[in-house]
Amino acid sequence: MALSDSVTTCLSPPVRYVICKLGYEKKDTYDISNILSENGEVCWQAVTDHVCYLESDQSVDYIKSIRSLGPVCESVNLHFKSLTKDQFVVQYALWFHWTNYTELFIEIFDVLRYSQTTEVALGLMKLTSCLERALGDVYLLIGRDCPFLLRDLIASEQLALVFGQAVMNVLKVFIGSPSGLNLRNVLWHGFASPQEIPAKYCAMLLFLTAGLGQLLQIYLLQTKFILVHRPYVIFSSLEELEVFPDLNNEALSVAEELVKLSSFVLKTMLPFWMAALTAFKQSRYADCVILLLPQLEVGLRLLFTTTNKCPNRMLTAESSALYTTFDEMLARNLDNEEVNQLPAVLEEPAMEFLWDFLNHQEGPRIRDRLSHGEIDLKAFPKEVANQIVAFAITLLCRFSDEDMFAFKEHLVIKPLMNCASCYRSRFHPISQLKKQVLECMKSIHLWPELPAVPEEYIGTMKGLEGNSEASTLILMISEIISQLQQYMPQNCYSSDDPVNSVLTERLLAEVCAMHVCTLYSPRPVLEILVVLRKISTQCHQVSKQVIASTELRYKQWMNKTLRSRQRHNYLRMLNSIKLLSPMLRLILVLITLELVNIHLVSKKNPFDYQQYLKFLKSILQYTENLVTYTSPEKNKWDETMELTNKALIKIRKISDRKLMLMLLAT
């Protein structure tokens, strides 16, 4: 029997007792009129009276509070079931406006009337993420820097000031503490199966959200504050996220078969998988991903606990211990410092995908952003959902006790397996630097196309006759290139004109295509990357400024609106550009050659490392000064020559001292 068949719950016995049984122990029936006034206002005092406190330190006694609140939740649930949708909208819709997503709460009311377990769990996940976002907006009325964790947000003084401490303690019981019901975390981390979440808790949170809206209205009237909603995160470059081909209905039908067979899926969680695939078919992309991410976490947790031989970590931990979440599973080491075996089992491409989509700061960080309410659920992009579902399908295929050969070779599945097996990180700083360098090179390649005044003018201007300084500098650049050529792909240049045949887009593309390991980069590597990326950013800024200034000055020249001094300056600029172009291209080639050898930085002794870092920072300083001198305000073109001369001397010196990483590679 597969392990996935033998796991019947992911809730540890104490957590399961708290969520599934504790709130049913008191059999009292509780009259809704005790907590809801005739004009539809929540009587908070009657709700907060059910929160019990420990005698020792007056902190919330979660066990007693959940037991006491159980019948209240039941009463609220029955009350909602007695209303028609129109009655609910008339009585409550207004009180959900503060969440910036009224229709979600009306949709959850609908779900509660038919209480299908999977839909209730999905509703709760959406409700908690939306509620968290709205509470964060309220926090920012009086606080700065909204806490990242819901637990810290609910425990904050700022929200206690707006809603009252007793009210915040009620929220703590439901979603704000690992000692309480902790509904949000238990669902978002994939510990609860659909049938383990009582619908009455979803009803109660719906009710409490309306009550918070009423309290907030009173607070806003008293303080004259205006609640501002933070804008949602928008996925700007969707094409970067496109890894897998579009899934068609045939692929989704195969996926439904796979879900039933794969040992990656816990049988108790099967309804979540089926609901996720159905949501994708119905173009409900946010719902699909919200349902699927916790299931990926469960499946990976099963693999993690099996490969690391720690089956106890499959269950939710008690409040005193850590849950096993994506963070632990994707880490290099276990908490006892032993090496985590999961990365070796998943292999690098799958690890890269997970880090890219979930963890890297510049990646989409989908789970974080969805669970904290930062994404507009109404406009969730199909492209993102497509990637998550396709990746999930490849895991279903790879990790199974059955012989999956027929599935892996299936016409619609094989392309997915191929894409998954050759995935490379797109959002690690190493990948981002490659992208930056290529974009910057593209920009510099536009320079020769820029409009310029005829050559004869340059000779006739006083003080600009011939430029021996520039030729000396070009000569230095050529010398440096000839030293570096042995570290470059051999097919990318000719020896007659090193400057223009080596410092090309083709060479950079070739070097950037080389694989550099990104998983678990050590600190020195990340430190160097930060400096290299800053250098690249400054080079790009210089290029943008040169393009803008050249176009503007040429236009003014042709329109005869330049004064004599400005004409001189313009011609100086055209002269300097001839040198700046090879210089910036040289820096980009240097950065890229260093990047492909970046892991060698760990071999440097501390003294050499500091010298190397100092050198890179001096190049950064050079590019920052260039940005200043080439800005429209400064326009100091002669000075750029001087700066360039000093920078080239430094590069030559470092190259002679063999401090560069590419030199270590041999």
Per-residue pLDDT tens over the stretch 150-173: 999 999 999 999 999 999 999 999
The three-class DSSP label of residue 186 is helix
In this structure, are 182 and 261 located in the same domain? no
In this structure, are 460 and 388 located in the same domain? no
How much is the mean pLDDT over the chain? Answer: 91
Average pLDDT over residues 515-542: 96
In this structure, are 554 and 488 located in the same domain? yes
pLDDT at residue 319, as a whole number: 66
Tokens matching residue 431: 């990948």
Q: Is residue 310 part of a domain?
A: yes
Of 138, 69, 82, 110, nearest to 206 by C-alpha is 110
pLDDT in tens, 79-100: 999 999 999 999 999 999 999 9
Average pLDDT over residues 355-380: 95
pLDDT at residue 424, as a whole number: 95
Average pLDDT over residues 42-49: 96
Q: Is residue 185 part of a domain?
A: yes
Percent of the chain scored above 70 by pLDDT?
A: 95
Q: Is residue 228 part of a domain?
A: no
pLDDT at residue 400, as a whole number: 80
The three-class DSSP label of residue 159 is helix
pLDDT at residue 1, as a whole number: 44
Which of 188, 223, 258 represents a domain boundary (last residue)?
Answer: 223
Band (pLDDT 50/70/90 cuts) for residue 19 is very high
- Map tokens 């100091």 to a residue: 636
Provide the domain count of the chain: 3
pLDDT at 572 over 90: no
In this structure, are 179 and 207 located in the same domain? yes
pLDDT in tens, 169-228: 999 999 989 999 999 999 999 999 999 999 999 999 999 999 999 999 999 999 999 999
CA-to-CA distance for 519 and 348, rounded, in angstroms?
8
pLDDT at residue 635, as a whole number: 82
Tokens matching residue 371: 């669970």
In this structure, are 434 and 412 located in the same domain? no
CA-to-CA distance for 234 and 238, rounded, in angstroms?
10
Tokens matching residue 509: 């593309």
CB 292 within 8 A of CB 276: yes
In this structure, are 579 and 641 located in the same domain? yes
Q: Is residue 229 part of a domain?
A: no
Full residue range of the structural domain in which residue 455 is found: 429-664
Which of 379, 401, 421 represents a domain boundary (last residue)?
Answer: 421
In this structure, are 560 and 441 located in the same domain? yes
Band (pLDDT 50/70/90 cuts) for residue 489 is confident
Q: Is residue 631 part of a domain?
A: yes
Of 443, 445, 446, 450, nearest to 557 by C-alpha is 450
pLDDT at 304 over 50: yes
Of 283-292, 318-327, 603-612, where does mean pLDDT reach its minimum?
A: 318-327
Q: Is residue 230 part of a domain?
A: no
Tokens matching residue 603: 């071999």
In this structure, are 434 and 410 located in the same domain? no
pLDDT at residue 411, as a whole number: 87
Q: Is residue 233 part of a domain?
A: no
pLDDT in tens, 101-114: 999 999 999 999 88
Of 621, 605, 601, nearest to 663 by C-alpha is 601
pLDDT at residue 2, as a whole number: 60
pLDDT in tens, 420-465: 999 999 999 999 999 999 999 999 999 989 888 766 665 555 444 4
> Buried b vs exposed e over 641-654: b needs ≥16 C-beta within 10 Å?
bebbeebbeebeeb
Identify which has the larger pLDDT, 7 or 597.
Answer: 597
In this structure, are 114 and 177 located in the same domain? yes
In this structure, are 466 and 387 located in the same domain? no
Of 231, 244, 232, 259, nearest to 384 by C-alpha is 244
pLDDT at residue 182, as a whole number: 95
Amino acid residing at 503: L
Any bridge partners for residue 53, and if so which?
60
pLDDT at 144 over 80: yes
pLDDT at 500 over 80: no
In this structure, are 247 and 351 located in the same domain? yes
- Map tokens 């050559």 to a residue: 455
In this structure, are 117 and 249 located in the same domain? no
Q: Is residue 625 part of a domain?
A: yes
Average pLDDT over residues 635-647: 88
CA-to-CA distance for 279 and 293, rounded, in angstroms?
13
pLDDT at residue 76, as a whole number: 96
Which of 190, 223, 256 represents a domain boundary (last residue)?
Answer: 223
pLDDT at 292 over 90: yes
Identify which has the larger pLDDT, 626 or 490.
Answer: 626
CA-to-CA distance for 292 and 390, rounded, in angstroms?
11
